[in-house]
Structures are given as C-alpha cells and as structure tokens.
C-alpha cells in the first residue's frame, strides 16, 4: 500500500484539499477465469477526517477489470466445450438459441442470464445433450445416474442411496451394476418413481428398479 498527499482531490464533506490518498491492489474472483486484480484508492481528509473513495474511482476500475475477466471466462468456457465436442452451433441448437447467439456472447454482447447459462453448461456439460433430446425427463434421470456413477469412481467404497419400490424392502442393501461399476445401493420406499434397468449382485439377475426423480444421494 502506498500513501501520498494529493492537492487535486477535494473532500466532499468540508471541501478541503488536504487529502491523503492510499492505493492498494485487491484480488477478486469469477468462475472459469483467473483471479483479477484491481488497484483501489482510499482517501482520508486531513482536515475533517472523512474517508472513502472521493472520486468513485474504485467502481470504474472494478467494472473495467470485471468486464475483461468475464470475456476471458466466456472464451475459456466455449473453448472447453468445443474440446469436449460441444460446438457453438451444437449449443445453440440444444438450447433453441438464434444462430450466432454464442458468437455475440463471445464478442461481448451478453446478459447476466447468458453468463449463468454458460456456467451451468460448463459445470454439467451433459445438460447440452439432455437439452438436445428435448429435456426428456427419463433420459435426464438416467444421465444423472450415469454421471453419478462416474463421479463415485473417484472415491473409495462409494455408496449410492436410492429410494425405490417398497417391494425391495426398506432396510435392504444391494450391489448394483451401473455402467459396469459394482456399487453398493441402499433402498427405501418412496411414492414417486421412474424406471431404470439394473443388475443385482451377486445373483446377477436383471430387472427394473423403480427410482424417484432426484432420489440419488452420495453416502459414506
């Protein structure tokens, strides 16, 4: 932090020009980009003791730095999606966006809603495929299960907890093969279900498990 006495700054309270100015660098963060830094000023009137950003410089500096960071994050998100096979055109078709909408976002013409949408797709890229299929609920549920199974491979002794038809018993625990992964599953009855194919172990008998929407929880 640096301090200096500036005669060009006037105190908004007492109109004194005896104002001390200090400058410091502050770091801020946004998703999908590096932290951006802003040089912030702080004024202190030596006459009356008033302090703050007398010239409103900080807001201007922050907005400029944030705009650059947002542009960088959009480029990173779209480049990452492209590398994963989701092109701009694919994204526009999936989300029913007008042609060249994504190009306009990339050039700087975007809303807060557009930024939020890009961050969601970047965090969960499989949403684009679900959107391409018309947001079919059964496909969406199956995709969530597949993604959860893939995620659980990163943990030791993973357990999925399913709410399922009471006929399987509320206290029973079964091994279920999800995307060729043997994952222990706990079942408990719930009223609303959707169909999902499964294989119970060790009997390895195939059947149809009833599972509620959103009834998947990481446990243990």
Q: pLDDT 10s digit of each residue in the chain, 220 long? A: 556 665 688 999 999 999 999 999 999 999 999 999 999 999 999 999 999 999 899 999 999 999 999 999 999 999 999 998 999 999 999 999 999 999 999 998 999 999 999 999 999 999 998 999 999 888 888 888 888 777 666 554 444 444 333 333 333 333 344 444 444 443 333 333 333 433 333 433 333 333 333 333 333 3
**Strand order across the beta sheet in which 173-178 lies:** 205-211, 194-201, 173-178, 181-189, 159-164, 216-219
Structural domains in the chain (count): 3
Final residue of a structural domain among 132, 153, 181: 132
**Other beta carbons less than 10 A from residue 9's beta carbon:** 19
Q: pTM to 2 decimals? A: 0.65
Among the candidates 10, 38, 65, a domain finishes at 65
| Measured distance CA(36)–CA(46) in Å, rounded | 32
- Provide the domain limits for residue 77: 71-132
- Choosing from 116, 132, 148, the residue where a domain stops is 132
Rounded (5°) CA angle 130-136-139: 65
Let me know whether 117 and 163 are in one domain.
no
Instruction: State whether 208 and 142 are in the same domain.
Output: yes
């Amino acid at each position: 932090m640096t301090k200096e006495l500036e005669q060009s700054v006037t105190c908004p309270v007492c109109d004194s020009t005896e104002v001390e100015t200090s400058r410091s660098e502050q770091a801020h963060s946004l998703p999908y980009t590096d932290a951006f830094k802003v040089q912030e000023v702080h004024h202190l009137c030596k006459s009356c003791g008033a302090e703050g950003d007398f010239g409103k410089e900080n807001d201007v500096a922050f907005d400029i730095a944030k705009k650059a960071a947002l542009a960088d994050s959009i480029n990173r998100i779209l480049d990452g999606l492209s590398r994963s096979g989701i092109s701009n055109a694919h994204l526009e078709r999936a989300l029913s966006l007008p042609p060249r909408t994504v190009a306009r976002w990339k050039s700087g013409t975007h809303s807060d809603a557009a930024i939020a949408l890009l961050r969601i797709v970047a965090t969960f890229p499989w949403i684009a495929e679900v959107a391409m299929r018309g947001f079919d609920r059964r496909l969406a549920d199956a995709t969530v299960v597949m993604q959860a199974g893939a995620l659980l491979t990163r943990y030791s002794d993973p357990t999925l907890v399913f709410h399922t038809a009471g006929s399987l018993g509320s206290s029973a625990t079964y091994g279920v093969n999800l995307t060729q992964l043997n994952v222990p599953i706990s079942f408990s009855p719930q009223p609303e279900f959707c169909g999902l194919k499964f294989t119970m172990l060790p009997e390895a008998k195939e059947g149809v498990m009833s599972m509620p929407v959103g009834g998947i929880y990481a446990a243990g």
